[in-house]
């Protein structure tokens, strides 16, 4: 089989080789049916089982309490920005947002189409930081408080779960779901696109506390209506069947490999290697992120103080070594290494080796 490349993409991103091989093996004839899973009805017994198994494994891995529903939706993370507002903001017409980077900023803008969005602090002071919770003010009348657990572009991750004094907490976990243990009971709702840590693009996982259902706005399309989707067990219409199937396989792989405790320890070890390499590089590699909020998943850095030619050369040489998708997001430039669950410690060691060699030649 072809040697696989090293993939540090931010999403869609690397998936476990074992899972890809399994999916390939079963592609033309799913469980000896003579049909591909991709050809099967979403109301047939095969998809019904995959749908239910996928919900069960999400519940098991994250220890989701019984009073939460698990939904599979479409529309991407961006669709979820609107869905959150249309489903949850109607209760009081206003919601609080913590803007810590690109994705929470987009979520706040989208939500403002459906009600009053109030920021928990007036101005995001500095990129690469998360303003301490002691500086936040919360509106007791907010329908919910929203934050993005891991800002994929900006490289900041919350090292804690915000305290909201009883106001439902909503989190975008698109780039951090299934990478650490969580106390789900602290959340009203979690939304996460699958295409980074847990599967292919095309499916969004929603975990929602049951008592928050039933508040959707009249304008909410039924495909975005959590209440309706929950009632229909996520087969209200044709779901992204193949994406849910692959996601279910990835979640089983996570379980087989030790679950979230192991994912969490590996994540810390992987990002630790990169941050250490930068710290020891005498500022050849610099990370513009406050140390206490550095993401374990997306590590942005600059080379030579932001020397774009040198960064371009770094990317070219990395490509020659088959290290792909290291380019920083177009809005911030520089380099970004994403280290999701399927990226191995060995992958990161090879990247570190390359970084050290590149510095020796060009530093």
In the complex, the smallest distance separating the C-beta of residue 223 from ligand PMP, rounded to whole angstroms, is 15
**Catalytic: which of 69, 96, 103, 149?**
103
CA 250 to chain centroid = 14
Note whether 215 and 91 are within 8 A (CB).
yes
110 binds ligand PMP (CB under 6 A): no
Residue closer to ligand PMP, measured from CB, 76 or 363: 76
77 binds ligand PMP (CB under 6 A): yes
Cα 278 to Cα 263: distance, rounded to the nearest angstrom: 23
In the complex, the smallest distance separating the C-beta of residue 153 from ligand PMP, rounded to whole angstroms, is 7
Note whether 78 and 261 are within 8 A (CB).
no
DSSP-derived pairing of the beta strands 68-73 and 204-209: antiparallel
In the complex, the smallest distance separating the C-beta of residue 247 from ligand PMP, rounded to whole angstroms, is 14
**Catalytic: which of 14, 69, 180, 196?**
196
Cα 59 to Cα 67: distance, rounded to the nearest angstrom: 11
In the complex, the smallest distance separating the C-beta of residue 224 from ligand PMP, rounded to whole angstroms, is 13
Compute CA distances 60 → 47, 66, 127, 274, 344, whole Å. Answer: 20, 11, 36, 31, 24
Residue closer to ligand PMP, measured from CB, 51 or 298: 298
Cα 305 to Cα 114: distance, rounded to the nearest angstrom: 42
148 binds ligand PMP (CB under 6 A): yes
Q: Is 149 among the catalytic positions? A: no
Tokens for 317?
């040489």
In SS3 terms, 60-86 reads as HHHCCCCCEEEEEECCHHHHHHHHHHH
Choosing from 8, 47, 103, 146, the residue that interacts with ligand PMP (CB under 6 A) is 103
**Nearest residue by C-beta to ligand PMP?**
77
In the complex, the smallest distance separating the C-beta of residue 284 from ligand PMP, rounded to whole angstroms, is 28
Note whether 195 and 213 are within 8 A (CB).
no
Candidates 72-80, 178-186, 305-313, 338-346 — which segment interacts with ligand PMP by CB under 6 A? Answer: 72-80
Residue closer to ligand PMP, measured from CB, 55 or 152: 152
In the complex, the smallest distance separating the C-beta of residue 325 from ligand PMP, rounded to whole angstroms, is 12
Residues 186-193: contacts with CB under 8 Å, at least 24 apart: 186/161, 187/161, 188/88, 188/144, 188/212, 189/84, 189/88, 189/144, 189/226, 191/77, 191/80, 191/83, 191/84, 192/77, 193/11, 193/76, 193/77, 193/80
Residue closer to ligand PMP, measured from CB, 266 or 338: 338
314 binds ligand PMP (CB under 6 A): no
Residue closer to ligand PMP, measured from CB, 16 or 193: 193
Choosing from 105, 164, 171, 175, the residue that interacts with ligand PMP (CB under 6 A) is 175
- Residue written as token pair 């975005």: 224
DSSP-derived pairing of the beta strands 145-148 and 94-97: parallel
**Catalytic: which of 172, 225, 253, 270?**
172
Choosing from 154, 157, 172, 311, the residue that interacts with ligand PMP (CB under 6 A) is 172
Q: Is 276 among the catalytic positions? A: no
Residue closer to ligand PMP, measured from CB, 154 or 311: 154
197 binds ligand PMP (CB under 6 A): no
Cα 96 to Cα 114: distance, rounded to the nearest angstrom: 13
Choosing from 193, 199, 239, 334, the residue that interacts with ligand PMP (CB under 6 A) is 193
In the complex, the smallest distance separating the C-beta of residue 150 from ligand PMP, rounded to whole angstroms, is 6
11 binds ligand PMP (CB under 6 A): yes
Q: Is 172 among the catalytic positions? A: yes
Size of the site for ligand PMP (CB under 6 A): 11
Cα 89 to Cα 114: distance, rounded to the nearest angstrom: 8
Which parts of this chain interact with ligand PMP (CB under 6 A)? 11, 76-78, 103, 148, 152, 172, 174-175, 193
């Amino acid at each position: 089989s072809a040697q696989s490349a090293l993939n540090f993409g931010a999403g869609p991103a690397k998936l476990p080789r074992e899972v890809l091989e399994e999916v390939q093996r079963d592609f033309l004839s799913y469980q000896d049916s003579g049909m591909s899973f991709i050809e099967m009805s979403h109301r047939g017994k095969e998809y019904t089982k995959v749908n239910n198994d996928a919900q069960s494994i999400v519940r098991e891995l994250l220890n989701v309490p019984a009073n939460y529903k698990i939904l599979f939706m479409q529309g991407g993370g961006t669709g979820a920005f609107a869905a959150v507002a249309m489903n949850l903001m109607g209760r009081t017409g206003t919601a609080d947002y913590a803007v810590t980077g690109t994705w929470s900023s987009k979520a706040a803008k989208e939500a403002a189409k459906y009600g009053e969005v109030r920021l928990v602090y007036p101005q995001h002071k500095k990129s690469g930081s998360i303003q301490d919770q002691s500086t936040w003010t919360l509106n007791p009348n907010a329908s919910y408080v929203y934050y993005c657990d891991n800002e994929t572009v900006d490289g900041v991750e919350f090292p804690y779960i915000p305290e909201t004094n009883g106001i439902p907490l909503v989190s975008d976990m698109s780039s951090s779901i299934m990478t650490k243990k969580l106390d789900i009971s602290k959340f009203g709702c979690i939304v996460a696109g699958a295409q980074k840590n847990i599967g292919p693009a095309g499916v969004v996982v929603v975990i929602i506390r049951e008592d928050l259902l039933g508040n959707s706005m009249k304008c909410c399309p039924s495909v975005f209506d959590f209440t309706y989707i929950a009632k229909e067990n996520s087969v209200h219409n044709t779901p992204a069947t193949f994406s849910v199937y692959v996601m279910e396989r990835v979640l089983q792989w996570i379980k087989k490999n030790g679950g979230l405790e192991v994912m969490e320890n590996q994540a810390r070890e992987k990002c630790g290697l990169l941050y250490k390499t930068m710290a020891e590089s005498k500022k050849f590699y610099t990370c513009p992120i406050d140390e206490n909020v550095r993401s374990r998943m997306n590590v942005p850095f600059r080379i030579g103080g932001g020397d774009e030619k040198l960064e371009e050369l770094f990317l070219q040489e990395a490509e020659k070594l088959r290290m792909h998708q290291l380019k920083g997001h177009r809005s911030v430039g520089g380099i970004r290494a994403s280290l999701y669950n399927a990226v191995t410690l060995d992958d990161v060691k090879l990247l570190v080796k390359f970084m050290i060699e590149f510095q020796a030649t060009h530093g």
